[in-house]
């Protein structure tokens, strides 16, 4: 379910990270505006390698009832190149919630690929992993991301306010949510 995860859509393959992904993933996350709306620092190449190694370790520990972190590579089917990432993991603010997240190379934005990937991952999360609900945390100025999650049927719940000082990077971010029943009643997709 986690180690051999393979989701294929019309244009992309979603799969767990491999050590051979370091350079391609580093190239994506090093793009000038990649971290514009992500409350984290841009990692070094060595940092990307550590993230990939840690992600591979998490996949050994992940269970349907406890996802430590499920970091996945987005691979362009045509070029077989890593073009971004998506994943599921505990929300930084509300650790009991499972958050969906994603990032894609600027060259692939605006073409519906991120929507395609998040739709497929949510479908997998609800049908195969059997998650009861998923949240998304988004910067209020990230209109493209808001369009993606609203298109998926996620609805706004609240804005993060008055957080612990250690979580100040999340202050003012928007929380969206969708339950499995709502998603599955609106969408249907087959997996290979």
- DSSP state, residue 68: S
pTM: 0.90
- DSSP state, residue 41: P
Residue with tokens 């370091």, as numbered in its chain: 22
Q: Does some domain include residue 73?
A: yes
Range of the domain at 101: 7-186
Number of folded domains in the chain?
A: 1
SS3 63: strand
Q: Does some domain include residue 65?
A: yes
Q: Which parts of 3-80 are beta strand (E)?
A: 7-8, 12-16, 70-76
Q: Does some domain include residue 2?
A: no
Q: Does some domain include residue 192?
A: no
Ordered per-residue pLDDT tens for the chain, 192 residues: 788 899 999 999 999 999 999 999 999 998 888 767 776 778 899 999 999 999 999 999 999 999 999 999 999 999 999 999 999 999 988 889 999 999 999 999 889 999 999 999 999 999 999 999 999 999 999 999 999 999 999 999 999 999 989 888 899 999 999 999 999 887 654 443
pLDDT, residue 126, reads: 96
pLDDT, residue 16, reads: 96
What CATH number is attached to the domain comprising 67?
3.40.630.30
Q: Does some domain include residue 111?
A: yes
User: Could you give the CA distance from residue 98 to residue 117 in angstroms, rounded to a whole number?
Assistant: 17
Q: Does some domain include residue 191?
A: no
pLDDT, residue 169, reads: 86
pLDDT, residue 186, reads: 77
Q: Does some domain include residue 86?
A: yes
Q: Which parts of the chain are beta strand (E)?
A: 7-8, 12-16, 70-76, 81-90, 98-104, 133-138, 155-159, 174-179
Q: Does some domain include residue 1?
A: no
């Amino acid at each position: 379910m986690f180690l051999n995860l393979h989701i294929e859509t019309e244009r992309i393959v979603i799969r767990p990270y491999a050590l051979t992904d370091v350079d391609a993933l580093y190239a994506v996350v090093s793009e000038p505006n990649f971290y514009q709306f992500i409350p984290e620092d841009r990692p070094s190449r060595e940092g990307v390698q550590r993230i990939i190694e840690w992600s591979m370790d998490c996949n050994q520990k992940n269970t349907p009832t406890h996802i430590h972190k499920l970091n996945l590579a987005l691979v362009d089917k045509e070029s077989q190149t890593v073009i971004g990432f998506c994943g599921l993991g505990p929300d930084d603010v509300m650790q009991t919630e499972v958050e969906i997240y994603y990032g894609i190379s600027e060259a692939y934005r605006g073409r519906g690929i991120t929507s395609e990937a998040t739709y497929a991952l949510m479908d997998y999360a609800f049908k195969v992993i059997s998650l009861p609900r998923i949240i998304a945390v988004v910067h209020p100025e990230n209109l493209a991301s808001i369009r993606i999650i609203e298109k998926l049927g996620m609805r706004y719940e609240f804005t993060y306010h008055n957080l612990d000082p250690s979580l100040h990077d999340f202050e003012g971010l928007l929380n969206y949510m969708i339950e499995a029943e709502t998603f599955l009643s609106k969408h249907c997709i087959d997996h290979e």
